[in-house]
């Protein structure tokens, strides 16, 4: 696990290779295995592998353009009526997807949708809801783009970890 955490980077360049259905299934299983508050599982997922739909989603906001070249985008939704901590639950599922992708030799990146704008008059959430036909009551948290990596990023190093943000027994006391 630690090795995976050091190696995991946000990958935004992908090969054109498609994912086989077994690999997609493993990713979905991983997301569905995520913990959630009181086991309420308020999430829903839209798995997108259609190139045209991926291209449309790539315009959901600035900083999402690379989604058009991904093999897959998994849209993370949550139902606020099912849990008061839907943001946490959905974010944990998204993180587990991101890490599972790494464990399968895939590259992936979190694309933030919640609280972001598509245009001055449309939120990124409304845009994604419109493109995918998602009902208004379901919140769009993020999209995880996934594909075989076509870029290399060096792993994280101990030297740049933010140990200054860690406190011992009392806030402000050095760890
Ligand atoms: C909540 C969250 C939102 C993010 N939103 C975006 C995004 O919209 N577009 C993007 O390219 N990267 C996004 N990222 C990826 C971060 O930019 C990236 O994790 C960070 O720069 C650290 O780099 P690393 O993942 O390679 O360690 C997001 C990451 C998180 C956790």
Q: How far apart are CA 154 and CA 22, in angstroms?
A: 28
Q: Give residue-wise pLDDT tens across range 75-115.
A: 999 999 999 999 999 999 999 999 999 999 999 999 999 99
* pLDDT tens-place values along the chain, 175 residues long: 999 999 999 999 999 999 999 999 999 999 999 999 999 999 999 999 999 999 999 999 999 999 999 999 999 999 999 999 999 999 999 999 999 999 999 999 999 999 999 999 999 999 999 999 999 999 999 999 999 999 999 999 999 999 999 999 999 999 9
Q: What pTM was estimated for this model as a whole?
A: 0.98
Q: Tokens at residue 23, please?
A: 């690999």
How many CB atoms are located within 10 Å of the residue 39 CB? Answer: 8
- Ligand 1 pocket (Cβ < 6 Å) reads 9-10, 12, 63, 109-112, 153
| Token pair 């030799």: residue | 105
Tell me the domains of the chain and their CATH numbers: 2-165 (3.40.109.10)
Closest Cα to atom 18 of ligand 1: 10
Are 126 and 118 within 8 A, CB to CB?
yes
Please tell me the distance between residue 110's alpha carbon and the centre of ligand 1 in angstroms: 6
3 state SS of 51: helix
Looking at residue 38, its pLDDT comes to: 98
């Amino acid at each position: 696990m630690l090795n995976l955490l050091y190696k995991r980077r946000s990958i935004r360049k992908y090969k054109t290779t498609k994912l086989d259905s077994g690999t997609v299934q493993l990713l979905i299983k991983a997301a569905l295995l995520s913990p959630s508050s009181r086991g309420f599982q308020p999430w829903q997922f839209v798995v997108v592998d259609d190139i045209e739909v991926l291209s449309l989603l790539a315009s959901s906001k600035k900083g999402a353009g690379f989604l058009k070249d991904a093999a897959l985008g998994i849209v993370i939704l949550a139902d606020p009526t099912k849990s008061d901590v839907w943001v946490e639950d959905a974010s944990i599922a998204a993180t587990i997807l991101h890490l599972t992708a790494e464990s399968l030799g895939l590259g992936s990146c979190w694309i933030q949708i919640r609280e972001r704008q598509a245009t001055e008059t449309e939120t990124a959430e409304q845009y994604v809801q419109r493109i995918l036909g998602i009902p208004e009551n379901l919140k769009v948290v993020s999209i995880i783009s996934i594909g075989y990596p076509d870029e290399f990023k060096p792993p994280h190093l101990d030297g740049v970890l933010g140990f200054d943000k860690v406190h011992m027994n009392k806030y402000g006391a050095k760890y």
